[in-house]
Amino acid sequence: MKIEWRISQDDTERVKELLDEQADNPLVIARHKRNLADARRRVDRRDFWFYMTAARLTSLQRSGPSSHVARFTRVDPFPLRYEAMVAEADVESVIVKELQVFGGIRFVNRIASDLARNFRRLEDGEWDRALAECDRLVPVVSRDVEKEVADYIDTFNGFGPKQSRNLLQELGLTRFEIPIDSRVTEWLNDFGFPLRLSATALADRHYYDFVSDGIQALCAKCGVLPCILDAAIFGRKDSRDRTDNVLY
């Protein structure tokens, strides 16, 4: 059985209206500059670990611009930076302490356990593979390659389809594969996606791929890359919903 995605002229016009509305949004501008750059730099351990930590923190958390998670990731110097973790004998305890001291972040013990296990895995020999996978995305590649790298990131503790794509998108490496969360599913439901979407069901990889296929088809018809549509959706939501009550 196959699904045929049929995109109407009205659909494309509505997407283009959103893109025009959000064209000057700083998030959209930044996404153009970073993810659509002709030359993208290779990822190092410091950046990979920072965005891995940030991606794990956004799971089931408020994560808009003024959220505790967003504010924690903007602390300078970042408390859980790679250089600091390398020097620690008990990474998990340090993560628990830093998150508790900062406050407002949920599931601290679970997050700390996942991140500590990921850190040990990387330090025990996984760094070469992790950075090599990221290097595959430095040149412009197809959606299939982006998906293969996202599936690899999905093997880390506490990561799923959304978090893996969040990590890669924030590193500026992806154009097609985007993190689909409640903000995106809410927009798709309002837009008229052919079935009612559930953000919680996105933890299932097959369901996630189904929704992603629909987004890819819509974007292809509209002549826009999914990472830019994603930025427009997020920019619109963040500008209209300053109560910050949307959960990833």
In a domain, 248, yes or no: no
**Of 170, 197, 212, which residue constitutes the final position of a domain?**
170
**pTM above 0.85?**
yes
Last residue of a domain, one of 133, 154, 170: 170
* Whether the Cβ atoms of residue 64 and residue 246 lie closer than 8 Å to each other: yes
Mean pLDDT, the chain, whole residue set = 91
Q: Domain of 77: which CATH number?
A: 1.10.340
pLDDT above 90 for 65: no
Contact 218, 232 (CB under 8 A): no
Peptide bond preceding 77: is omega within 30 degrees of 0, i.e. cis?
Answer: yes
**23 and 59 in a common domain:** no
Residue 4 resides in a domain: no
Same domain, 165 and 193: no
3-state secondary structure 125-183: HHHHHHHHHHHCCCCCCCHHHHHHHHHHHCCCCCCCHHHHHHHHHHCCCCCCCCCCCHH
Indicate if the pLDDT at residue 245 is higher than 70. Answer: no
Q: Which of 141, 170, 199 is the last residue of a domain?
A: 170
pLDDT band at residue 247 under the 50/70/90 scheme: very low
Q: Is residue 217 part of a domain?
A: yes
Nearest 10 degrees: CA dihedral of 127, 130, 136, 140? -110
User: So what's the pLDDT on residue 246?
Assistant: 32
Identify residue 124 by its one-letter amino acid code.
D
| 54 assigned to some structural domain | yes
What would the two tokens of residue 116 be?
A: 């500590």
**Has residue 121 been placed in a domain?**
yes
How many angstroms separate the CA atoms of 167 and 198, rounded? 22
Q: Is 26 inside a domain boundary?
A: yes
Same domain, 124 and 206: no
Judgement on whether residues 70 and 132 belong to the same structural domain of the protein? yes
- Give the C-alpha separation, 203 to 108, whole Å: 20
Let me know whether 49 and 30 are in one domain.
Answer: no
Query: Are 165 and 52 contained in the same domain?
Result: yes
Determine, yes or no, domain membership for 2: no
Positive or negative, the CA dihedral 110, 112, 117, 119 is positive
Same domain, 133 and 57: yes
* Domain membership flag for residue 207: yes
| 97: pLDDT strictly greater than 90 | yes
Q: Which residues, in sequence order, are bridge partners of residue 62?
A: 247
DSSP of 181-216, one letter per residue?
Answer: -HHHHHHHHHHT-SS---SGGGGSHHHHHHHHHHHH
Domain with 18 in it = 9-36+178-240
